[in-house]
Chain A
C-alpha cells in the first residue's frame, strides 16, 4: 500500500473511523445496560450482560483505534479504489426506494419496477429480456406463494396482489 492510501493520524484513516464507531456503540450499550439495572453478581439484572459486553466493545474498539494510530491504515477512498463504487450505491438506492414503496404500493407494484431497475441499471440487460423477466418472475412468485403456499404478500393501498 502506498503512502497515499496508508495513513496514520489522519481523519481519512478508515480503521480509525471503524474504531470510533465501535467505541460509540460500546458507550451506548454500557449506558443502556446501566439504564436497565445491573443487579448484583448473585442476582444479575437485565442490564448486567449488556453492561459488560459494552465494556468489552469499548476495549476492542480502543485496540482498533490504537492500532490505527500506531500502525496506520488504508484511507476511506482507497477502500473504493479501482471498483465500480456507483453500482452498489445505485443498488442501495433501489433497495431503499423499494422498502419505502413496499407497504403503500404492495408487492407486485413495487417489485416489478425494482427488478426492471436492477436489470437495466447495474449491468444493463437488453430491454427485450429485461421486461419479460421483470414482469414474469415477480408475478410467477406472487402466484405460487398466493395459490400454492397460501401466503398473502402485501397488496398495498390499491389492493393489487
Chain B
C-alpha cells in the first residue's frame, strides 16, 4: 500500500508540466545521441550536466535519466538501418537487426526492438520500485568498510569486463583513483598534486575528463577512417510485428528483461554486458542457432530488452547505496552532487518526492520513447543521412561549449583537450577509458571510506574481512582478479569483454 501511495506521489511530481518538458527533452536528446554514431549518452549527459543547474533537482535528474534510457532506444535504430551501433549497448543488435533490414524486414526489427525495450523498461521500473526501498533500509547498516569493499568490487568487475588485458584495465583504474585525489585532502585539507595551480585546488572536473576521454577522443578515432554509411533506403513499413514474430520474441524478451535487470544492478555491469549476455543465451537456447547472424528476430528482441532492463536496474545501486555502478551513473551522481544531494540509503526517506518522481518520470519517458521511436521513425532515418564530416565539427564545438559552461572556466577547456589527446593515444594503445572514469569518481569516496574504517578499527585490516558483506565483496573481487590467470576463464573473459566506452 505504501508503495502505491509513493508511486502516486511520484506521478504527481513527474506530471508537473516543467518535469514533463524536461523528461521529453531528455528522451528526445537520448534518442538523438543514440541514433547518431560517434556521440553516446556519456558525452551528451556531460554536455548537458550544466543545464541541470537551471531548474529544480527533479527536473535536471529526470532529464539526465531520460538521456540514458532514451539512448538505449535510439541506438537500435542505427544498428538496424546502418549497421553502425549508435552506442555500445546496441553493438550486438547490428548482427541480426541489419540482416533483417537487408531482407526487407526493417519494420518488424525496429518494432520488436521498441516494444521489447518498452516492456523491459516497464519491468525494470516496477522492480526498481519494489527493490530499492528494501535495499535502502538494509544499506543503512553499511559502514565505511562495506562501502570501500563494494567500490573495490565494482571497479574490479568493470576492469574484468573491459576489453584488452586486465593489467591495462587495472592500471587505468589506478590512474583514475590518482586523478580523483587531485585537490584538497577532504580530511586534512592539504593540497595534493596541484603543482601550485589554483585551478587544481578543487580537483579536476568530471565533465572535462569525460568529454575529453569519450567525446574528443572518439572524434579523433573516427576521423582516422572515412565513415561510410549503408543506410537502408527502402520505405519502412509494418512496424508492428506479426503474430509469428511475437511468438518467436516472447521468450527472448522475457529472459532478456530478467537477465538485463540483474546484470544492471551488479556494480561494474550495465547495459552493454546485458545485451551481449542475452544474445549468447538466446543463441544457446535456440533450436536453430544457425539462423543467428542471418536475421533472427530473437537476436534483436533479447539484447534490446536486456539493455533497457539493465539501464533501469543500474539506478538501484546509485539510489540506494550512492555507488554508481557504471560511468553513466557516475555522471548522474554528478548531477545529484551539483544540487547538493547525496544519493544513498537516506535519499528515499529524506527526498521521497525526488526518488519517486524520477521513477515515475521514467515510466512516462518510456511511453514517450515508444511514440518517438515508432511513428516518428522517418525523422530519425533522415537524420542518419547527415554526413559525419559536418557532424564532427559540431560535436567538437558542443563539447567545448559544454565544458566551458559547466564551470565558466577556460582551464577546463584545456583539460578537456588534453584528455581528448591522451584518450586518443590510450585507445590506440589498447587502454580503455571506462575504468579510469569510474575510478576517478569512486577514488575520493574509496579513500575516505578506507581511512575512516582504518581509524575506526584502529588500524586493524581484518575489519574488511570480518564484516560479512565486506568480506564477500572482497572475496568476489579477488576471484575476478585471479580468474584471468586460468586459461579457460581467460577465454570466457575475452568472449564477454567489451568496449564500455563507445
Contacts and interface: CB of A to CB of B under 8 A. Distances in A.
Contacts of B396: 95, 114, 118
Contacts of B181: 49-50, 53
**A interface, size bucket:** 35 or more
Contact of A44 (B193, B408, B424, B451): B451
B3 to A, nearest CB: 39
Contact of A137 (B177, B220, B389, B394): B394
A63 B219 CA distance: 31
Given A36-B190, A111-B400, A119 B390 contact: yes
B455 interface: yes
B163 to A, nearest CB: 15
Nearest to A22: B171
Contact of A123 (B185, B388, B400, B430): B388
Contacts of A115: 393, 397
Given A133-B390, A149-B54, A152-B408, A50 B397 contact: no
A102 interface: yes
B401 interface: yes
Given A53-B174, A53-B177, A87-B223, A95 B216 contact: yes
| Residue in B171, B187, B400, B413 with the greatest tally of chain A CB atoms within 10 Å | B171
A12 B106 CA distance: 47
B22 interface: no
B185 A46 contact: yes
Contacts of B226: 84, 123
A80 B424 CA distance: 12
A11 interface: no
B458 interface: yes
Contacts of B404: 107, 153-154
B424 to A, nearest CB: 6
Contact of A14 (B192, B221, B410, B429): B429
Contact of B397 (A45, A60, A141): A141
Looking at chain B, what size class is its interface with the partner chain? 35 or more
Interface string A1-25: 0000000000000110110001001
Interface string A120-134: 001111000100011
Interface string B148-184: 0000000000000000010110110011011001000
B138 interface: no
Given A125-B390, A151-B405, A102 B193 contact: no
Contacts of A109: none
A42 B171 CA distance: 27
A50 B429 contact: no
Interface in B53-101: 54
A91 B222 CA distance: 11
Contacts of A133: 390, 393
A138 interface: yes
A95 B223 CA distance: 14
Given A67-B167, A119-B393, A95 B420 contact: yes
Interface in B25-68: 54
A60 B174 contact: yes
Contact of B431 (A18, A84, A87, A129): A18
Given A44-B451, A49-B447, A95-B216, A64 B168 contact: yes
Interface string B95-116: 0000000000000000000000
Nearest to A43: B455
A22 B387 CA distance: 38
A88 B224 contact: yes
A96 interface: yes
A92 interface: yes
Contacts of A41: 454, 459, 461
Interface string B433-463: 0000000000000110011001100110100
Contacts of B388: 123
B132 interface: no
A61 B169 CA distance: 11
Nearest to A88: B220
Across the A-B interface, give the 6 residue pairs with the lowest CB-CB distance, nearest first: A123-B389, A41-B459, A118-B393, A42-B459, A63-B167, A83-B224
7 contacts: A49-B446, A57-B178, A95-B421, A111-B400, A119-B389, A122-B389, A137-B394
Given A88-B424, A103-B410, A122-B389, 7 more contacts: A14-B429, A42-B455, A67-B165, A95-B396, A99-B414, A115-B393, A118-B396
